[in-house]
Amino acid sequence: MEDVDIAPIATSAAAVVQLDEEAESTLDEPISVTLKRDLLMVFEKFFMVLIPRLNNKRILHDWDLWGPLILCVTLAMMLRDTARDDQKSLVFSGVFVIVWCGAAVVTLNSKLLGGTLSFFQSVCVLGYCLLPLVAGTLIIRTLALMSLASVPVRSVVVLLGLAWALFASMGFLGDSQPVNRKALAVYPMFLFYFVISWLIFVQPVSD
């Protein structure tokens, strides 16, 4: 009778037990601890976008939509505040539609081209990489208070934010596309961030 190697079975069983214990400990922990952990995870991803590294793929494995939602709401509120009174609700809802529908379209295009990431992983990265553009919007609004938000200044800020967003997103998503189709995946991504950049550039510089 052949001997059966039980080491892999034992290892798998131990892993399952460990996962069960972690799940139970998560369910039993206070809400404040859970919120603190989630917030730290979101800010860690913000840091990954601010200082993108080509070998940093943790954002792909531990995906979430809290960060993209925060950035989308923040951007929509800032653009809404500078819009005309009769366009505030339209601008707010328009930003939401552009961000989420645009990210979904870019993701579907990536999947059709043979991308290896899941739908929510891609949407997560695209949403988090809005951070440079949201930061650019805040800078423009701050400069507007000092009457320094001229067209050349806004152009430089928006172009830097666009370049940063594209660089960060490609650093996370670049390896997920076939080499011969990478350009076809980058073009819709560029259009996605370009449209958002244009909305930021044309925003009124005063309330």
Residue 1: inside a domain: no
Residue 103: inside a domain: yes
**What's the domain count of the chain?**
1
Residue 110: inside a domain: yes
Nearest C-alpha neighbor of 59 from the set 115, 129, 132: 129
**pTM, full prediction:** 0.80
pLDDT at 179 (0 to 100): 74
Domain holding 70, by residue range, is 7-201
Q: What tens digit of pLDDT does each residue of 128-160 get? A: 999 999 999 999 999 998 888 899 999 999 999
Q: How far apart are CA 39 and CA 61, in angstroms?
A: 17
Residue 2: inside a domain: no
Residue 78: inside a domain: yes
Residue 206: inside a domain: no
User: How far apart, in Å, are the Cα atoms of 7 and each of 20, 21, 35, 141, 203?
Assistant: 20, 21, 38, 61, 63
Q: What tens digit of pLDDT does each residue of 60-112 get? A: 677 889 999 999 999 999 999 988 888 899 999 999 999 999 999 999 988 88
Residue 22 — pLDDT band, cuts 50, 70, 90? very low
